[in-house]
Structure 1
Amino acid sequence: MSMTDQQQLDITRKLLTLTKSGLPLLDAVKLIGIKSIEEGLTTGRSLSVIMDQCGFYPFCVGLIRSGEATGDLLASLESINLHLDKKIKLKKKLKKSLTYPCIVGITACLVLFVIFQWVVPTFEVMFSNFNAALPWPTRLLIQYSQWFQAYFLYACLIIFCLTGLIALYWKYSANFQKKFDRLMMLLPFWGKIRIAAAISQWGKSIATFHQHGIPILDAIKETALNSNDWVIYQFCIELKNYLSQGWSLSESIRMTTHGTMLMKPEHLQLIRVGEASGDLSYVLDVIANQEEEALDQLIDQLSQSMEPVLMIFMGLIVGTLIIALYLPIFEMGQIL
């Protein structure tokens, strides 16, 4: 069983509010009305174990476990609330920026479908009465329309089957997932968004764990296990290996396979300063906040740049089709 980000945020936010006001944990859970957590607590299980069974993220479970060990559950709940709140806001912002391109793309597909399925055949019947050769753009458009009517269903079936095969291959092939995640980070613009999001989550996760008294090696291990990106997972595993050998975090990052791609030189410099001053968690938090701001800017740029590009694209498609359809009529008008 798994829970959505919003469900986890709602539960932890209510727990934080009630326990902050002085209510004991069990009374707070009873007041919220979550039977599964209430039953677990009354039978003597810890909150972290119950949350794990309820489908909370390993990151949240790890922080609760740390809060139970240190006796500072409130700080853990606050960290979880902050983490989930930022995650939800980021998803909403990214979804909002992609909504318009998706709508335009679907509209373009519908327009092309209508034109190839009904409009072009109507013009084709009309053009068959012309006693003159049609211009090459019109002939090409008619050929595309004929191909579309003949093979549209077959093309849809092939696309559906390929999508299913790719989804199955993705599910059962970790190698494919690794290559795909790396490819996503190498793309010109989208890659910057992926890297900024990944490093923001990476820095925030390690900083949060470290601030709760978890050693840096264990914090990196937990971050690796909580990551949903293979590049970050491999990055954390390599870091853990180098740190175990006695290297500093900044040197370990430099020696990893993806370190130079993920981390900027100024970030490495900040980490060196944090290591020298003994305030590494603060520095990692600063890096995470910087990348979060960069991510916001990149998403804003994406939404602002996509709108005019898509409008031009739609205009070119519709304009080209109209010219191709009406060109024979214009030529006949000039002859007459």
Structure 2
Amino acid sequence: RLANLVRQKGGRQIGGSEFLILNQQFNTLIKAGLPILKSLDLLATRATAPRLRPVITQIRDRVREGKSLSEAVAEAGVFSKVYSTAILAGEKSGNLPGVLDYYIAYQRVSTGVQKKILASLVYPALLISVAVIIVTYLVTGVIPKFALLYRDMNVELPAPTRLLIALTVDYRLVFLGVVASLAVAAAGIFLWSRTEEGGTVFDRFKFRLPVIGDTLLKFQVAQFSRTLATLLTGGTPLVAGLQTSCDAITSKLLRSTVSHATQMVREGESLHGALGASGHVPELALDMIEVGESSGALSPMLNSVAEFYEEEVSLRLSTLVSLIEPILLIFMGLIVAFILISLYLPIFSFSMTGTAK
């Protein structure tokens, strides 16, 4: 789940860029001195995104009925709890424009990091897609024709050719059955990972993977730190900020960790001590949080944690992609080469035999 998306009723999604523009426009109107209700009226009238207009209209109507802006946003059911909590903090502090500034900066950074990560994965995904298309075409359209040709010739085929034909023609149903079984198993694991227990176990497994696991964990910690820093900067109390940040975490293991830490902080434990009790938060992050608590600069230090890990995750992904790309190319080349050589090997053998005679 991307942090820069808000979900509309019925499962539709509003792009992060649309949401960012909405916040910028709303904040500009508030800073200009317009009342909240008048600002919502203007936004509802001039909204260019059709999906946003009914949402803004609903919020405006709730505010007109006497609801606070944070209550109206929460009741809309399409925005994250982080957003409604940030607005609530702005209302309580009397600094709604300032809080919206913090939230807009949070949106920009989060969206930028996510776009950078997705962009780094586009090329490997494209390579895999091309490989699947090529192999599928060869297996379904080319190999069966060669198999019929060689059977009509009634000749002894080389071992690689026999293996290729057996896998793709003679035992196709068995092969497809194995693939289907693997797909069903993968779907079952995916559905199980969506449960609380399964997700926690799956997260433990993911985070223990070499290189990739540590990268995934640090990305989650960066997202949590960025969210909590935004809420604290806007004036949200620590315990309330932890509760809201917990709801925004996608990892069930880290969510459980933060939930337990929230209870410990409520009972008087320090934040770094509460998070460190789980053993799932990196030591460097704990050390930086401890310094932030002792110096009274927790929010800036959480931002520093987020920036440090976001940069590290981006660098690691770039390195991994630069390593994966040649490996994928070599792997694709070997598969296609094996198929083509196996198909044409009998023809080469016949040619050499005919020449020898």
TM over 0.5: yes
- 5+ residue gaps in structure 1? none
Q: Is it true that 1:216 corresponds to 2:238 in the alignment?
A: yes
Question: Closer, same or farther in 2 for the Cα pair 1:314/1:59, shift >3 Å?
Answer: same
Q: Is the 8 A contact 1:37 1:47 kept in 2?
A: yes
Where in structure 2 are the equivalents of 1:318-333 lying within 5 Å?
318-333=336-351
Q: Which residue of 1 aligns with 2:301?
A: 283
Q: 269, 274, 278: which one pairs with 1:247? A: 269
Q: 1:162 to 1:40 in 2, by over 3 A?
A: same
Report whether the alignment pairs 1:127 with 2:150.
Answer: yes
Match of 2:255 in 1: 233
Contact 2:89 2:99 in 1 (8 A): yes
Q: Report Cα offsets for 1:87-124 as digits up to 9, x if no partner.
A: 32233223222222222222222222222222122222
Indicate the residue corresponding to 2:33 in structure 1: 22
Q: 1:181 to 1:10 in 2, by over 3 A?
A: farther
- For residues 38-77 of structure 1, the aligned pairs below 5 Å read 38-54=60-76, 55-77=78-100
Please say if residues 138 and 327 of structure 1, whose CA atoms lie closer than 8 Å, have aligned partners that are also in contact: yes
Match of residue 48 from structure 2: none
Distance 1:232-1:140 versus aligned 2 partners, 3 A rule: same
Change (3 A) 1:201 1:277: same
Post-superposition Cα deviations, 1:282-327, rounded to whole Å, max 9, x if no partner, equal: 2111111111111221232233333222211211111111121222
Matches of 1:36 and 1:84, distance apart in 2: 23
In the alignment, is residue 32 of structure 1 matched against residue 43 of structure 2? yes
1:71 Cα shift?
0.6
Counterparts of 1:1-336 in structure 2, within 5 Å, are: 1-2=8-9, 3-4=13-14, 5-33=16-44, 34-54=56-76, 55-130=78-153, 132-147=155-170, 149-151=172-174, 158=181, 161-162=184-185, 165-166=188-189, 168-171=191-194, 173-258=195-280, 262-263=281-282, 265-335=283-353, 336=356
* Unaligned segments of structure 2, at least 5 residues: 1-7, 45-55
Task: Give the superposition deviation at 1:247.
Answer: 3.2
Of 219-228 and 237-246, deviating more is 237-246
Query: For 1:109 and 1:148, how far apart are their aligned partners in 2?
Result: 19
Confirm or deny: 8 A CA contact 1:117 1:149 kept in the other structure: no
1 CA distance for matches of 2:184 and 2:295? 57
Q: Find the aligned partners of 1:163 and 1:252 in 2 and give their Cα distance.
A: 35
- Native 8 Å contact 1:116 1:148 kept in 2: no
The question of whether the paired residues in 1 share the 8 Å contact of 2:239 and 2:262 is answered with yes
Residue 154 of structure 1: how far off its partner (Å):
5.1
TM-score relative to the length of structure 1 = 0.88
Q: Across the two proteins, how many residue pairs are aligned to each other?
A: 331
TM-score (norm 2): 0.83
Cα distance in 1, alignment partners of residues 81 and 91 from structure 2: 15
AA partner of residue 39 (structure 2)? A
For residues 346 and 316 of structure 2, what CA distance do their matches in structure 1 show? 46
Q: Which moved more, 1:209-218 or 1:230-239?
A: 209-218
- Give the whole-Å Cα distance in 1 for the aligned partners of 2:180 and 2:272: 51
Q: Distance in 1 between matches of 2:286 and 2:188?
A: 41
1:155 CA drift (Å): 5.8
Cα distance in 1 for partners of 2:285, 2:188 equals 40
CA positional deviation for 1:195: 1.7
- Larger displacement relative to structure 2 (157-166 or 200-209): 157-166
Aligned-pair RMSD on alpha carbons?
2.5
Q: Judging changes above 3 Å, is the alpha-carbon distance between structure 1 residues 47 and 110 closer, same or farther for their aligned structure 2 residues? A: same
Shift, 1:217, TM fit: 2.5
Percent identical residues:
27
